[in-house]
Amino acid sequence: MATVEINSLSDETLRKLAEVVRRVLPASYGTLGARGGYTSSGNDVFIAKTPGGGIPASSGTTPGSAVCDIYYIDDAGDYAQKLDGLGNAVTITVYNLAQAAAVGNSVFIQVKQENFGSLLCDWEECE
């Protein structure tokens, strides 16, 4: 086997390497962003559990928001809480765009990341 000496990597090579690592090691996918939210390199879908107070409806030009825990479906088909490397729960701030409805207390919801990084609860307003 040949040995290759690497002196430096270009920004593009580092980006590609990070993408490969992200795909191979899904447990390390994404990072906690500067705003305390979960960020990644693209649009993502998460399972989150709302806090005891739920997520309030939006009001005027301000969306409702709450800090939610991230979950995933484990090999047994059960909800499992996403933990960081230190064993702490990974949380995200989720925004609710609905003006007429709050999101329920302590329920599992689907959360989507929009192109600018905000995480939005998936909802449909009903009448």
Q: What is the CATH number of the domain that holds 79?
A: 2.40.50
Are 106 and 49 in contact by the 8 Å Cβ rule? The answer is yes
Q: What is the tally of helices (H) and strands (E) in the chain?
A: 1, 8
Residue with token string 């302590």: 106
**What Cα–Cα distance (Å) separates residue 42 from each residue in 38, 73, 112?**
11, 21, 11
List the domain range (segments joined by +) for residue 67: 31-121
What confidence score (pLDDT) does residue 70 get? 92
Rounded CA separation 113/78 (Å) = 23
Domain assignment present for residue 11? The answer is: no
What confidence score (pLDDT) does residue 8 get? 76
Q: Domain total for the chain?
A: 1
- Per residue in 7-45, pLDDT (tens digit) is 677 878 877 777 766 655 544 445 544 444 455 555 678
Residue 44 burial (CB count, 10 A): 14
